Structure 1
Amino acid sequence: MLQALETTTLRVSEIFFSLQGETSRVGLPTVFVRLTGCPLRCGYCDTAYAFTGGENISIVEILNRIACYKTKYVTVTGGEPLAQKSCLVLLTALCDAEYSVSLETSGALDLSQVDRGVCKVMDIKTPGSGEAAKNNWENLIHLTQKDEIKFVLCDEPDYQWAREIIHQRHLSQVCPILFSPVYGSLNPATLASWILRDQLPVRMQLQMHKLLWGEGPGR
């Protein structure tokens, strides 16, 4: 097993330590492993620098770098981390090392082989993202109550679309649902008023790292 982890590599854009800015883990000191590459091109993407570049790093070396930080929380993100097949090996290795692991994924790629110990945070892409056609609805059957579904909303049509998807697909019975306004595009107070008006069973979230450190991906 160790030899496999030493020889299996991933293309990594960056590994960094920060506060989790989103999801139910917001505020927790977390090591982020950002993998390179993504098959989607969402109009609001703030990590386009991760589409290319990076360096090839063995899974053992990734684990060693994570171990430098005294936290049990690790988030594997991108880009789209599942675009690299060896991401599945990394996720299992992190679970085996007893980290509390979350995966940030677009949901466009198959989730069926993701380690059961991982908290899957799956985006459902809205029309405003420009990538709604790539939603893989079959992934919903691979989500449990410990996972989370996220909608990133550009405007009121996105909100209305997401509201209908929640009702049509009974998403509140699947796992917790997150609504996030596109930073600098949709006013958070406006989104909050819509959620309260419609009494939606969702958690509204802001990107805390951007409130702290500005429009970059954040540290």
Structure 2
Amino acid sequence: MNPASLRITEIFYSLQGETSRLGLPTVFVRLTGCPLRCGYCDSAYAFHGGKTMGFDEILAEVARHGARTVCVTGGEPLAQKHSLAFLTALCDAGYDVSLETSGALPIADVDPRVSRILDIKTPGSGELEKMHWDNLAALTPKDEVKFVLCDRADYEWARDLVRQRKVNDLAPVLFSPVWETLPPADLAAWVLEDHLPVRMQVQLHKILWGEKPGV
């Protein structure tokens, strides 16, 4: 029995709404707590509270849903000291594991079997200064880089960063509009106009079920 534990906000089974795994039936393990306060955050309910669960209890709940794909998200999962060991435990159990991380904490020690979805904070997020830029050097082609864009200014900032730092040579790049402030059609037009080698995405789970926990 593994005595390590994590603070968990929720574990649920849904369709993956983002990334290259879009549409895949997935078990989500949402950890509690985050050191950032992005202005557009859609999971602020995970900042506090939650339930302390041991690894064995978490793995049993994950297994109950019968899916091969698992996404560890937050909050900010890497803010909890046992998160790295838990990601390895998921991989050892045979799951296809992805990690959604804010980019503010180092990713270099994450198990290499995990696909790291690295969120690069834009000026519009209000948390740009907390970015850990050394994370770019740790990326591999199995990882993905996500930009959540508030407006045209965010888009231009992200576009220029992708070009200048050749981010798409490091890992696939995702551009996502903030649900409330940037019409998806506008972002699509800008990406096409600039011939930008990125994948535009919208949040499938919100289209299907709206903005709420557990989806």
Task: Say whether the fold is shared (TM-score over 0.5).
Answer: yes
| 1:101 has 2:106 as partner | no
Matched residue SS, 1:157:
helix
Amino acid at match of 1:146: K
Matched residue SS, 2:181:
coil
Amino acid at match of 2:189: S
1:152 equivalent in structure 2: 148
1:40 equivalent in structure 2: 36
Amino acid at match of 1:113: D
How many Å apart are 1:142 and its aligned residue? 1.1
Q: Residue by residue, what CA displacement relative to the aligned partner does 1:160-189 show, whole Å, maximum 9, x if unpaired?
A: 000111012110110000000000210000
After TM superposition, the runs of 4+ consecutive aligned structure 1 residues lying more than 6 A away are: none
How many residue pairs were aligned?
Answer: 215
TM-score normalised according to structure 2 size: 0.99
2:119–2:146 CA contact under 8 A, matched in 1: yes
Amino acid at match of 1:150: K
Which has the larger displacement, 209-218 or 151-160?
A: 209-218
2:146–2:174 CA contact under 8 A, matched in 1: yes
Q: Residue by residue, what CA displacement relative to the aligned partner does 1:129-148 show, whole Å, maximum 9, x if unpaired?
A: 00011111101111100100
Task: Report percent identity of matched pairs.
Answer: 63
Q: Which residue, 7, 14, 21 being the options, matches 1:11?
A: 7
Structure 1 residues 190-201: aligned runs within 5 Å: 190-201=186-197
2:12–2:214 CA contact under 8 A, matched in 1: no
**RMSD, matched Cα:** 0.7
1:173 equivalent in structure 2: 169
TM-score normalised according to structure 1 size: 0.97
Q: Which residue, 112, 116, 132 being the options, matches 1:116?
A: 112
Q: Where does the alignment leave 5 or more consecutive residues of structure 1 unmatched?
A: none
How many Å apart are 1:218 and its aligned residue? 4.9
Amino acid at match of 2:196: L
Q: Where does the alignment leave 5 or more consecutive residues of structure 2 unmatched?
A: none
Cα distance in 2, alignment partners of residues 165 and 137 from structure 1? 12
1:210–1:217 CA contact under 8 A, matched in 2: no
Q: Residue by residue, what CA displacement relative to the aligned partner does 1:176-217 show, whole Å, maximum 9, x if unpaired?
A: 000000002100000000000000000000000000001224
Amino acid at match of 1:204: M
